[in-house]
Chain A
Amino acid sequence: MLVDIAFWFFAVLIIGSALVVVLSRNMIYAVFALLFTFFGVAGIYVLLNADFLAVTQIMIYIGGILVLLIFGIMLTSNVTGVDIKSGQTGKIQMFFAGLISLFSIIFLVYIATTTNWKVSNGSDQSIMTTIDSIGKELLTNYLLAFESASVLLLIAIIGAALIARRK
């Protein structure tokens, strides 16, 4: 029962704040609404017993990406005095965007309903924590992907430093 209440709370939070993100003309509202979307997704992860994923979601999306977005918008709008608002979109663009979104929703729902998910029963104690299994999998089966991601990040850091140092 309690889990159901929590689920609906997070579901409403995610969808409500996501609507603000999409529909708000004011970019700053959109960015701060994104905070609640990310938080709600982390809450859903917790309900799914994916503890590590939930905390990673907060760490990376709220602590990293959202801060970056806020910095970008604030430094441009408040320092230069330009009010950042998303512009008007043409009717045709809106139509096609809506069409594509509709198709992707149908496609995602189709995938979600037809995939044979592995569901564990709640009594399984080994799913109490995911951090051990994620760590083992990352350093054995998915080592190549893991290492490539780290090399990519290293390249990005070097590139950022190079751009920042250029006078």
Chain B
Amino acid sequence: METFNVFEKLLGQNILSALISVLLPLVFLIIYALIAILGELKISAWIQERLGPMRTGPYGILQPLAEVIKLIQKEDIVPAGANRLLFNLAPYVIFAGSFAGFAVIPFTAAFVPAEINIGLFYVFAVGAFAVIGIVMGGWASNNKYSLLGAMRSASQMISYEIPGALVILSAAVLANSLDMQKITALQDGGFWNWFLFGGPGGWSKIWILPFTLLLSLIYMITSLAETNRTPFDIPEGESELVAGYHTEYSGMKFAMFFFAEYSNMFIVAAILTVVFLGGWTSPFGSFMSGYWWGIFWFILKAMFIVFIQIWLRWTLPRVRVDQLMYLGWKILLPFALVCFVVISLYRIIY
């Protein structure tokens, strides 16, 4: 399928098409976040054999909306002794950083906000803003819990960026590109062409099949750590740190942190989808494939990954700090390195 930006084609390359390309992911993000919050509430309830929210709307489906209205109404408190400027700036830096990642997410063959050649690298780089924002908020709160949470979060995100980057690098070697649309288009033609199963090509890909499976598993684990989700949520471990770096935040600023977390969850799910699960391509070859079906498949796959993240959160206990570092540096990193070398060798030979 040919890839293009449908709005640029219809309206030409002007401010209007650029504005739509920017605003559409924002609208999507808000709707998605509401659904994901409901999912979090309901899935956690089912896992714990509860009903979850039932009063707001039928089966409680209006609960996230009610939560947002509640957060808007809440009083905005800045703690005494906090650094006012940085305290107020931090939620916006975090949200801007996580929303910037949406610029290169290919929702379908006909729509990606900005088709750039280094999309994957870009998504990785803008993740740095989240680290800065978290540290900014944690420090400016003038609270020991916040500072400790921010420090833990930053060190965790930086450590897990390395195995994550190696996974992305291996995928780039395999796909010979960093452009998310090109990587997706390569995997067109059925689920056996996904990079999860070694990517497109003849039977020779059987040699790298175990390694690509392992790589996707490694990326799944690192993505949990990078979004501070359980089992790696020690930055906000409530039994020791109250709520970590956003302890002091209330009202809309807290909501910004919340939205940023859900946005990050979607971004890592989208990267996993694009790199390993074929993005907007149909799993059944030409059956149910097309520009509109592309949106369906992409969101279905990404939401499935988000579902797994929520599922794991309510099933697994939290790891200790030393276990986290052990897992990141002594298990994931060497395995990712071996996979990277094997895939590079495969690319040279075939």
Which A residues lie at the B interface, using CB under 8 A? 2, 28-29, 32, 35, 51-52, 55-56, 58-59, 62-64, 66-67, 70-71, 74-75, 78, 128-129, 131
Contact = CB atoms under 8 A, between A and B. Distances in A.
B178 A78 contact: no
Interface in B193-249: none
Interface in B1-48: 15
B147 A78 contact: yes
Given A66-B128, A71-B154, A74-B147, 13 more contacts: A32-B132, A35-B132, A51-B118, A55-B122, A55-B125, A58-B128, A59-B121, A63-B127, A63-B128, A66-B132, A74-B139, A129-B118, A131-B117
Nearest to B127: A63
Contacts, number: 66
B295 interface: no
B127 A67 contact: no
Interface in B148-183: 151, 154, 158, 161, 178
B83 interface: yes
Contacts of A129: 117-118
Contacts of A66: 128, 132
B86 interface: yes
Contacts of B125: 55-56, 58-59, 62-63
A67 B154 contact: yes
B124 interface: yes
A163 to B, nearest CB: 17
A33 B129 CA distance: 13
A66 B134 CA distance: 13
B12 to A, nearest CB: 13
B343 interface: no
B100 to A, nearest CB: 10
A62 B93 CA distance: 12
Nearest to A59: B125
Nearest to A79: B147
Given A28-B86, A32-B86, A55-B121, A62 B128 contact: yes
B128 A67 contact: yes
Given A2-B15, A131-B178, A59 B124 contact: yes
B82 interface: no
Nearest to B124: A59
Contacts of B135: 67, 70-71, 74
B79 to A, nearest CB: 15
Contacts of B93: 35
Nearest to B158: A67
B131 A63 contact: yes
Nearest to A42: B125
B121 A67 contact: no
19 contacts: A2-B15, A35-B93, A51-B116, A55-B118, A55-B121, A55-B122, A56-B125, A59-B124, A62-B125, A63-B125, A63-B127, A63-B158, A64-B128, A66-B128, A66-B132, A71-B135, A74-B139, A129-B117, A131-B117
Nearest to A68: B158
A29 B128 CA distance: 18
A56 B178 CA distance: 14
Nearest to B116: A51
Contacts of A63: 125, 127-128, 131, 158, 161
Given A70-B135, A74-B139, A131-B118, A59 B86 contact: no
B136 interface: yes
B348 to A, nearest CB: 14
Closest 7 CB pairs of A and B: A63-B128, A129-B117, A59-B125, A58-B125, A62-B128, A55-B125, A55-B122
